[in-house]
Amino acid sequence: MSLLEIDNLHVRLPTPRGDVHAVAGVSLSLAPGRALGIVGESGSGKTMLSRAVLRLLPRTAQVGGRIGFGGRDVLALDAKALRAMRGREMAVVFQDPMTSLNPVLNVGTQIAETLHEHFGTPRGAALARAAALLGSVGIPEPEKRLRQFPHELSGGMRQRVAIAIALACEPKLLFADEPTSALDVTVQAQILDLLAAERARRQMALVLITHDLGVVAGRTEELVVMYAGRIMEHGSARV
């Protein structure tokens, strides 16, 4: 049984010079607990594909096809159902944590508000859970970090915070969109190993988006290569 099913997905973006076919007829599926790597050069449509699944496209985008998640039609969900699904069942880690984290809220508040929004967790319990999450993603002195702001942390620690927020509600599917491109090589390996370990521990499906084949090697079971909005190759990532 598939957790995610994408059938003949099209994403068209109107521009002054004409429509851009960012995603052109993509079909794929992902089973629970599996890891899928999506590889392609800049502009190949890999990020636009993930944003279509998450319904984070520009308002002017024209979308066709079907996106099924857990037996539901994602494109047919209303705003309330979509808000409940994002974070709780489907989450994302973006490329640059400085743009995904709120610079005026401390780390503890940002994790706690996710738990309160989806589960109604009281602030005290949410902060305790936030500290446990920070510890689980390898951040030392988690209670101290709760009171710190994103600019007080290193790039690697900010990305770990973003991962902790994404994992807070135990999602069934996690998108990691170029999660290490802004980090140095040593930290890149640590973040990728962390994502792989959390996926295995939680039996969570993972979509790892990158332009580097080396990133997905050994960390995903399936591999998709995209070019010009289309899937050019799809097969096992194992050698």
- How far, CA to CA in Å, does 75 sit from each of 62, 68, 78? 11, 8, 9
Over residues 45-68, the pLDDT tens digits come to 999 999 999 999 999 999 999 999
pLDDT band at 124 (very low <50, low <70, confident <90, very high): very high
Over residues 158-197, the pLDDT tens digits come to 999 999 999 999 999 999 998 887 778 888 888 888 898 8
pLDDT at 38 over 80: yes
Taken in order of first residue, the domains within the chain and their CATH numbers are: 32-57+78-236 (3.40.50.300)
Supply the mean pLDDT for the chain. Answer: 92
> What is the reported pLDDT for 238?
75
Q: Which helix (H) or strand (E) holds 186?
A: helix 185-202
CB 69 within 8 A of CB 3: yes
Q: Which helix (H) or strand (E) holds 225?
A: strand 222-227
Give the CA count within 13 Å in the CB-facing half-sphere of 100: 21
